[in-house]
Every structure is written in C-alpha cells, then in structure tokens.
C-alpha cells in the first residue's frame, strides 16, 4: 500500500490520469501494475501521455535518462511517490521546472 504521505498526491494522480486511463483508475489498488491492469491499452504511447499529464499538472520534469520511468510509472502508488519526492526536492531547492 502507498505510504500515508502520498495519499493526497495519489488522489490527484488518479484525477490527472482518469481522462487517459478511464474510470477504473479512480478505485484500483495503487500497487496494481498498470500494464497488467490495462493490458494493451497501457502501451508506450499511453504511458508517455501519462508522464506528460503528470509533468504538466504538477509542474515537474521527468528525465527519461536519470529516472527509471518503467519503474516509477508502473503503478499509481509509485507515480504518487515520484511526484511527492519531486515536489519535495523542488521545495528544498527552491526551484521549479
């Protein structure tokens, strides 16, 4: 299960991804693998759309070289943790995108 500190972020992640992944994303287990849950519907294009939506909504940047996108964008819980960490880093460093 996702850590308590990511729960508000998890709710936002669900809202951001619902237009791309559909209504099931609002209630699915945050640790369920998205590729398994959505099958062929969660292909590389959909994954990229999800990354872009997260970047845009939260004002963060996903570096495809430095970040393990396949890992961090595999479950809703991991996406929420990634976003939480990125926002904490921005706050500490006093920077945005």
List the chain domain ranges.
Answer: 4-93
pLDDT at residue 97 in the model: 53
pLDDT at residue 5 in the model: 58
SS (H, E, C) 23-65: HHHHCCCCCCCHHHHHHHHCCHHHHHHHHHHHHHHHCCCCCCC
Q: Which CATH code is given to the segment(s) 4-93? A: 1.10.1200.10
Tens of pLDDT along 44-64? Answer: 899 999 999 999 999 999 998
C-beta atoms surrounding 25 within 10 Å: 21
% of the chain beyond a pLDDT of 70: 91
pTM over 0.85: yes
């Amino acid at each position: 299960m996702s850590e308590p500190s990511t729960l508000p972020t998890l709710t936002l992640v669900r809202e951001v991804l619902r237009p791309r992944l559909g209504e099931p994303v609002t209630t699915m287990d945050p640790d369920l693998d998205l590729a398994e849950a959505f099958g062929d519907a969660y292909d590389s294009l959909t994954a990229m759309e999800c990354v872009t939506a997260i970047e845009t909504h939260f004002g963060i940047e996903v570096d495809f070289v430095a970040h393990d996108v396949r890992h961090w964008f595999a479950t809703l819980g991991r996406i929420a943790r990634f976003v939480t960490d990125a926002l904490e880093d921005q706050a500490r460093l006093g920077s945005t995108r």
